[in-house]
Amino acid sequence: MDSLDSKLLKFHPDTVMTIKEMYNLDKPGDMDKAIDSLEAWLAKQQHLTKKDYSREFLERSIILLKGSVERAKTQIDKLCSLRSIMPQFFEKHDAKNDFEIMENNYVDAVLPDLTEDHYRVYVGRFLSERTTSNILMECYRHGILVSEYIKAHDYCNGFVAVIDYRLTNMVDLIAAADFIALHHFITILMEGYGMRIKGIHALTSSKAIETLLKIVKKMFGPKVSNRIHVHMNIESLYEHLPKKILPSDLGGDQESLEFISGQWNEILGTKENINYMKEMSKAVSNEAYRLKEKLNGVDLGLSGTFRSLNVD
């Protein structure tokens, strides 16, 4: 764990130790004991089809869940169930070649540099005026691949998201959106991958963003909803994120978002990573071996939520 930096993800020299200290896992042997406990639990879960996760993967699972082994158990279990319940989100594995529909429509990337307080930043940008439900669904699937990679390789305190709507027609986007699919995607990110969100920043001057937020805030709890910010101009974004870590598209000092996204797709499109994505997509839950009430608990909030949404 001493050398984590890669082309895609960079870390501060004190990132690992600082985050371990936050969750009281900084003493020698503490993290090993936590991982041992998680491995022992996995070995007993007959309904899970995959039990042989690497210790690095399990360590990151514990860290993303604030150092809680119990919450890491719930997260791994829930993600396996979500793959079983909603396989349509996990059916693509090659980020380099499977997402042609996103070209000229949407570009995104997790930025290489952490914030000073060890948060990772995601930036997504709509590139065309018209957006379709098919494009949005492909964005969700691509996001799953990025999340899977992050789950295996990152070490951070949580996430900040920036969505740039300035080039798209917000009214058309809202009309095209399948909000049930969006709600399911958010559930996968937050409950399946255990992503903790420090802030969500929307860039747009369109008043239609108010309609979108009215719907989206129902999908997040009040804590995250209070962390959603709308920026009518780029300057106000810099009050939350420094220009030195942002891409040039957002007036930052780093490479363009398209360049960073290209680097991501090259890595995600390697044979090694594609095989890993295929393996992880098979990490599901065999519900025949699970108590019925447990399955219902996992499915709560999915099947019966947002089946009918009216946009005022």
What pLDDT, on a 0 to 100 scale, did the predictor assign at position 5?
A: 61
pLDDT in tens, 235-291: 999 999 999 999 999 999 999 999 999 999 999 999 999 999 999 999 999 988 875
Element (H, E) at 71: helix 69-85
User: CA 96 to CA 102: how far, in whole Å?
Assistant: 11
115 and 237 assigned to the same domain: yes
Which two three-digit tokens encode residue 89? 């989100």
177 and 286 assigned to the same domain: no
Backbone angles phi, psi at 228, to 5 degrees: -90, 130
pLDDT in tens, 116-133: 999 999 999 999 999 999
Average pLDDT on 79-98 reads 96
Number of domains the chain contains: 2
Decide if 66 is inside a domain: yes
Average pLDDT on 198-211 reads 97
Decide if 229 is inside a domain: yes
251 conformational bin, left if phi > 0, alpha if psi -120 to 50, beta if neither? left
Q: What residues make up the domain containing 206? A: 100-268
Decide if 172 is inside a domain: yes
User: CA 10 to CA 26: how far, in whole Å?
Assistant: 21
What pLDDT, on a 0 to 100 scale, did the predictor assign at position 126?
A: 98
Whether the predicted model's global pTM rises above the 0.75 cut = yes
111 and 257 assigned to the same domain: yes
**CB 40, CB 273: distance < 8 Å:** no
For residues 240 and 5, the model is more confident at 240
Decide if 9 is inside a domain: no
263 and 281 assigned to the same domain: no
63 and 184 assigned to the same domain: no
**Which pairs from 241-244 meet CB under 8 Å and 24+ separation?**
241/115, 241/121, 241/160, 241/162, 241/201, 242/115, 242/116, 244/113
131 and 241 assigned to the same domain: yes
What pLDDT, on a 0 to 100 scale, did the predictor assign at position 287?
A: 81
CATH code at 132? Answer: 3.40.525.10
Decide if 221 is inside a domain: yes
129 and 250 assigned to the same domain: yes
User: CA 307 to CA 128: how far, in whole Å?
Assistant: 28
**CB 39, CB 58: distance < 8 Å:** yes
**CB 110, CB 150: distance < 8 Å:** yes
35 and 113 assigned to the same domain: no
Instruction: State yes or no: pLDDT of 89 exceeds 50.
Output: yes
288 closest CA partner among 84, 52, 38, 51: 84
111 and 256 assigned to the same domain: yes
Instruction: State yes or no: pLDDT of 168 exceeds 50.
Output: yes
Decide if 5 is inside a domain: no
Question: What is each CA distance from 20 to 28, 57, 63, 266, in whole angstroms?
Answer: 11, 15, 8, 31
What pLDDT, on a 0 to 100 scale, did the predictor assign at position 200?
A: 98
Residue 160 C-beta-side C-alpha neighbours within 13 Å: 21
76 and 122 assigned to the same domain: no
155 and 30 assigned to the same domain: no
Decide if 8 is inside a domain: no
Residue 173 C-beta-side C-alpha neighbours within 13 Å: 24
Decide if 128 is inside a domain: yes
Instruction: State yes or no: pLDDT of 301 exceeds 60.
Output: no
85 and 207 assigned to the same domain: no
User: CA 130 to CA 132: how far, in whole Å?
Assistant: 7
**Residue % of the chain over a pLDDT of 70:** 91
What pLDDT, on a 0 to 100 scale, did the predictor assign at position 181?
A: 97
DSSP string, 28-68: TTHHHHHHHHHHHHHHT-TTBS-----HHHHHHHHHHTTT-
